């Protein structure tokens, strides 16, 4: 028998990655480093903003509890002065107090005085912040004697 020998198959050349030009390596590493630095800065900024919102919500919770004695008196002039004092002391853009129906009874914004606000008709027992029109609005219910809802408190802060 005649065995024919097939010609040997050509060996596959090992794939070699092209070497990066040594002059480009520092540029690539610097770009990666800058990207990682920006990513860390962005994440840190996001965390700071979340912490700020949380602190603002807690401060409005405390304010809501603190104005209870003045609300019980029912003196709208005192509530008006209190809203103004709170706004000045806290550096807030606007402080508004409304009754249960959403009727604004005290505010630092004279154009809103005596008007109804649907947003202030419903509020939670824990302060909740929302961003709106470049401002942060924080609303919380004013609760008397542990379970009687009197109205709502709204604090507006420039973002």
pLDDT digits (tens, 9 = 90+) for 2-23: 556 666 666 656 666 677 778 8
Q: Bigger pLDDT: 158 or 85?
A: 85
With residue 143 as reference, give the H or E element that holds it.
strand 135-144
CB distance 132 to 143 below 8 Å = no
Tell me which CATH code domain 25-158 carries.
Answer: 3.30.450.20
What pLDDT is recorded for position 9?
61
pLDDT digits (tens, 9 = 90+) for 123-155: 788 888 888 888 899 999 888 876 777 888 899
pLDDT digits (tens, 9 = 90+) for 61-76: 888 888 887 877 777 8
Question: What percentage of the chain carries pLDDT values higher than 90?
Answer: 10
Answer whether 0.85 is exceeded by the pTM.
no
CB distance 109 to 126 below 8 Å = no
What pLDDT is recorded for position 158?
79
* Cβ-based neighbours of 151, under 8 Å, separated by 6 or more: 71, 97, 98, 99, 100, 105, 120, 141, 142
Instruction: Write down the domain spans for the chain.
Output: 25-158
Q: Bigger pLDDT: 71 or 81?
A: 81
Q: In what order do the strands lie in the sheet with 128-132?
A: 104-107, 94-99, 148-158, 135-144, 128-132
């Amino acid at each position: 028998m005649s065995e024919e020998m097939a010609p040997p198959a050509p060996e596959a050349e090992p794939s070699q990655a092209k070497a990066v030009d040594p002059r480009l390596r520092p540029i690539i590493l610097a770009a990666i480093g800058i990207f990682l630095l920006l990513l860390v800065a962005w994440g840190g900024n996001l965390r700071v903003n979340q912490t700020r919102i949380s602190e603002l919500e807690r401060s409005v919770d405390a304010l809501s509890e603190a104005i209870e004695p003045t609300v019980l008196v029912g003196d709208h002039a005192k509530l008006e002065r209190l809203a103004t004092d709170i706004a000045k002391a806290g550096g807030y853009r606007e402080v508004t107090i409304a009754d249960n129906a959403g009727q604004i009874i005290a505010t630092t914004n004279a154009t809103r005085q005596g008007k109804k606000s649907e947003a202030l008709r419903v509020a939670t027992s824990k302060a909740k912040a929302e961003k709106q029109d470049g401002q942060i609005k924080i609303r919380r219910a004013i609760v008397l004697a542990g379970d009687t809802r009197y109205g709502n408190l709204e604090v507006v802060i420039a973002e």
